[in-house]
Structure 1
Amino acid sequence: MSEEILINMTPRETRVGVVENGMLQELHVERTSRRGYVGNVYKGRVQRVMPGMQAVFVDIGLERAAFLHASDIVRPPLPEGAEMPSAGGGNGNGNGNGHVPSISELVHEGQEIVVQVVKDPIGTKGARLSTHLSIPSRYLVLLPHARTLGISTRIEDEAERQRLKDVLTPLIGETPLGYIVRTNAEGQSAESLAFDVTYLGKVWRVVQENIAKAKVGERVYEELSLPLRALRDLLNDDIEKVRVDSRETFEKVAKFVHKFMPSLDDRVEHYAGERPIFDLYGVEDEIQRALRKEVPLKSGGYLIVDQTEAMTTIDVNTGGYLGTRNLEETVYRTNLEAAQAASRQLRLRNLGGIIIIDFIDMTDEEHKRQVIRMLEKGLSRDHAKTTVYPMSQLGLVEMTRKRTTESLERQLCEPCPACMGRGTVKTAETVTYEIFREITRAVRQFNAQKLLVMASPKVVSRILEEESTAVAELEEFISKSIRFQAEEHYSQEQFDVVLL
């Protein structure tokens, strides 16, 4: 299987596409305006200690001083000039009969301190900080000074928890670093986990070098930009090529891969073609199709993908496809194709949470098993964790997919202002009668000789053509004249009744 990563850069937006056999499978989008500071590590200086609030303000080089509470300070730092504070051993609150250090015991004005941003500045508030540093990789989180090995509670299988512990314990060895095993490490090979341990070790060495030479207000670790995050999480031996359409980004990517994944150096190349890189692979068209509800199938059938707050539903329809044999065979073939298409759409649209797939009813038990198998096979290449449950008697398949970021639709779209996200608009007839009711209400409340109604062209033309008798009767009833004016920019549901 040929698999490539395409990186498209524009001044305000970065997009990363994963293409398998010429077909877009995943799309990741990052906009400059949305990039915050969370995850970044800075060398800061304590500006002001506020004993009453058990907190300090720290200068980390941002516009406003950042806020660090005593509970987010790991423990009293070592004497001046020593190594940075350790992140192990409690949260600085203390408990039981032990001594709870006050903020003045933990830090003092003018002190240099290494901190991580845990919450972006909002409005007039500065960023929120912590000295509990954490650096994520694909399957692990590094806790530089907490010598511990924790496993996410969402990995519930005891045998799997033990396997992960057995794999990682020798890899970590005598290192003074701590690790948390993330949920998506479940089922991963020893090689993948070893790769992450090596990667995090290298990152931490770089951070330590940066801390040693940094001045106050300088960033010593930055949460990776989208192209580098994508390579950290997606680049492996299966990826044949990484094509980058920006020379500057290509150089950053090449440097990153050389530093952390030197064996894959030769996979990265700069794309300097005339045609935009996404057009070359038909990615732009795929993105537009991924925002539609209907997904056509080669057989003539189609899927309807509906994303709601509670869940996503995928409805399978045969369309005009009748097949060459009997109906059961037709249904089976359509469902097989739909299972393959559905697994791709979940990944491409980045749909998470509860998903219900409504396959066309089948009577043959073996057919049902094969359809589920096809769905699971399609999902096996998905980087997000998925769980598929057996098909119900109604032909429904319930499944879950781990939510990572907002879905593609939520990232690129907003609710339609005309229908307010309902997906339907009131008919011109419904709006007409709403206007008539509003006229009656307005006349009772206010005194006016004439009325002007502004509405969409479709509604106005309907009123003047099909409802002219009703308008004449209404004018007689309220003893006032009504003028209708078509407004091109009004949506079908929008109207105004103005008293003149």
Structure 2
Amino acid sequence: MQQDILINWSPQEARVAIVENGAVQELHVERTLERGLVGNVYLGKVARVLPGMQSAFIDIGLERAAFLHVADVWQRQPDGEPPGRPGQPQVPIEKQVFEGQSLLVQVIKDPIGTKGARLSTQVSIAGRLLVFLPQDDHIGISQKIPHDQREALRARLTRLVGAPGGGFILRTNGEDASDDELAEDIAYLRKTWTRIREAATRLPAGSLLHQDLNLIQRVLRDLVTCDTQTIRIDSREQHALLAKFGEEFMPSAAAKLHLYKGERPIFDLYNIDEEIAKALGRRVDLKSGGYLIVDQTEALTTVDVNTGGYVGSRNFDDTIFKTNLEAAHAIARQLRLRNLGGIIIVDFIDMQREDHRDSVLGEFRKQLTRDRVKTMAGNFSQLGLVEMTRKRTRESLAHMLCEPCEACMGKGTVRTARTVCYDILREILREARQFNPREYRVVASPRVVELFLDEESQHLAGLSDFIGKPISLQSESAMGQEQYDIVLL
């Protein structure tokens, strides 16, 4: 599958689009003033230990305290195996950390919404070919490398690592690397860890000890695959910096780097800005005429599949089957495009035939394997729903680019003008029982005032007669439909 990577850079923002066969599959955005924290290493200070939640709040110098769960507190194992194995006894967090303690921690999940960053005490440093685990002695191989090659690669990596001095995991793009390249990466990662430890001895708690690469550098390290044909960037200055960085650390990826000199903006080549606008909407149209409805909430994301205008050509079962098959492709793409994470519920159209359900589920899981983020999908539930999870490490596209509407406060709906009118009538009656003004003045949005002057005029006049006071109206265009003020004159 042909893949192209487009990089649109400006001083305030970097945007990366991954395009496969002419269709945008992934979008990555990093803003200079809102740079992500995942991978950063801090010297934190334990602010509070919560035994009831088996967690602790750690001050790492950010606006909100970060969160450390007992499952993310690293413990050395006698046999050198990584922690977290099934059945392994967990030491309570109150016996591992205490308030005021200085702690070396790494961010594993960015702050999302009202939640602070999530931390781990097991540090991992990513290089071009390897991931270094300085507190461990485990030698691992990427799960994406064929199983029959792993033992030979593990033996080779063990020989290069030499005496125990930290664990290493071979990344997918290190499968064909030479011994010299692997040795260079090992030396670079160990030098980085030495620099982190030295900084931890001289800097105060709350200090940043190590920062991960920026987005356009991570393109070469993390996003380039053997399917990548070209990497095009529209900034001459950043192209020179990225080429220099790539030649030193990722020469094979740097060879695919090109400076885009076209007249049109680089994202216009594949209508990427239009795709971003679509990815912020609820509805996703399918080519067949069906459509998806994507709703993102605090707890989970739901995806509903509908046939829409697709009526098929044979029978009802085939129409539903074809719509669901197309939806399986579209949903997997939307998860990557929107960077949706956490719990996701997919409501495919109900299928009567077992073979149709198996085919749709198989195709859906096949499409999910293309995702570089870890996903896990279950079977159809008794209600015909597919429950799945997708690892969430950073904000979704909508949360990054949008904010709650001031008019509806994020509800997605506002009360009708008539509902607001009746709220105002009740409020005036409540005020009349406590105060004795000369006149009541209602200041409200134009639609509410217009309704009072037309359909609700009789009710307003009746209330005025009942309380024995005049009620005047004042239209205020700056007010939202739910906003109003009652002035006592």
Instruction: Normalising by structure 2, report the TM-score.
Output: 0.74
Return the letter of the residue paired with 2:157: L
Gaps of 5+ in 2: 44-60, 62-102, 111-119
Deviates more, 1:447-456 or 1:171-180: 171-180
Query: Residues 480, 223 of structure 1: CA spacing in aligned structure 2 closer, same or farther, 3 A cutoff?
Result: same
Q: CA deviation at 1:204?
A: 2.6
Alignment pair present for 1:136 and 2:120 = no
Instruction: Measure the CA separation in 2 of the matches of 1:404 and 1:340.
Output: 23
Matches within 5 A, 1:98-177: 134-137=124-127, 141-144=131-134, 146=135, 148-149=137-138, 167-168=153-154, 170-173=156-159, 174=162, 176-177=164-165
Instruction: Measure the CA separation in 1 of the matches of 2:38 and 2:326.
Output: 42
CA contact (8 A) 2:127 2:185 kept: yes
Instruction: Measure the CA separation in 2 of the matches of 1:450 and 1:316.
Output: 55
Return the letter of the residue paired with 1:136: A
CA deviation vs aligned residue, 1:319-377 (integer Å, no higher than 9, x gap): 12111111111111111111110010011111111111101111111111111122122
Instruction: Measure the CA separation in 2 of the matches of 1:206 and 1:9.
Output: 31
Query: Residues 316, 137 of structure 1: CA spacing in aligned structure 2 closer, same or farther, 3 A cutoff?
Result: farther
SS state at 2:326 partner: helix
Alignment pair present for 1:420 and 2:405 = no
Match of 2:93 in 1: none
Which of 415, 420, 434 does residue 445 from structure 1 map onto? Answer: 434
Q: CA deviation at 1:450?
A: 1.6
Match of 1:300 in 2: 289
CA contact (8 A) 1:143 1:180 kept: yes
SS state at 1:389 partner: strand
Matches within 5 A, 1:310-459: 310-459=299-448
CA contact (8 A) 1:149 1:180 kept: yes
CA deviation vs aligned residue, 1:147-173 (integer Å, no higher than 9, x gap): 512889xx9xxxx99997885454143
SS state at 2:443 partner: strand
Backbone CA RMSD of aligned residues: 4.0
Which of 174, 184, 188 does residue 203 from structure 1 map onto? Answer: 188
SS state at 1:445 partner: coil
Query: Residues 370, 463 of structure 1: CA spacing in aligned structure 2 closer, same or farther, 3 A cutoff?
Result: same
CA contact (8 A) 2:105 2:123 kept: no
Alignment pair present for 1:179 and 2:167 = yes
CA deviation vs aligned residue, 1:157-206 (integer Å, no higher than 9, x gap): xxx99997885454143155413659xx7xx6972899996674263377
Match of 1:15 in 2: 15
Instruction: Measure the CA separation in 2 of the matches of 1:432 and 1:255.
Output: 66
Which of 236, 251, 261 does residue 262 from structure 1 map onto? Answer: 251
Query: Residues 197, 368 of structure 1: CA spacing in aligned structure 2 closer, same or farther, 3 A cutoff?
Result: farther
SS state at 1:306 partner: strand
Return the letter of the residue paired with 2:351: M
CA contact (8 A) 2:30 2:36 kept: no
Query: Residues 303, 150 of structure 1: CA spacing in aligned structure 2 closer, same or farther, 3 A cutoff?
Result: same
Instruction: Measure the CA separation in 2 of the matches of 1:466 and 1:285.
Output: 42
Instruction: Measure the CA separation in 2 of the matches of 1:180 and 1:447.
Output: 79
Query: Residues 259, 190 of structure 1: CA spacing in aligned structure 2 closer, same or farther, 3 A cutoff?
Result: closer
Return the letter of the residue paired with 2:388: M
Aligned-residue sequence identity (percent) comes to 51
Return the letter of the residue paired with 1:318: T
Instruction: Measure the CA separation in 1 of the matches of 2:191 and 2:247.
Output: 14
Query: Residues 355, 232 of structure 1: CA spacing in aligned structure 2 closer, same or farther, 3 A cutoff?
Result: same
Instruction: Measure the CA separation in 2 of the matches of 1:455 and 1:193.
Output: 70
CA contact (8 A) 2:106 2:122 kept: no
Gaps of 5+ in 1: 45-61, 63-114, 121-129
SS state at 1:410 partner: helix
CA deviation vs aligned residue, 1:186-234 (integer Å, no higher than 9, x gap): xx697289999667426337748989xx9x9999964201111232111
Match of 2:113 in 1: none
SS state at 2:393 partner: coil
CA contact (8 A) 1:199 1:260 kept: no
SS state at 2:433 partner: helix
SS state at 1:459 partner: helix
Alignment pair present for 1:35 and 2:35 = yes
CA deviation vs aligned residue, 1:23-69 (integer Å, no higher than 9, x gap): 11111111111237886689x9xxxxxxxxxxxxxxxxx9xxxxxxx
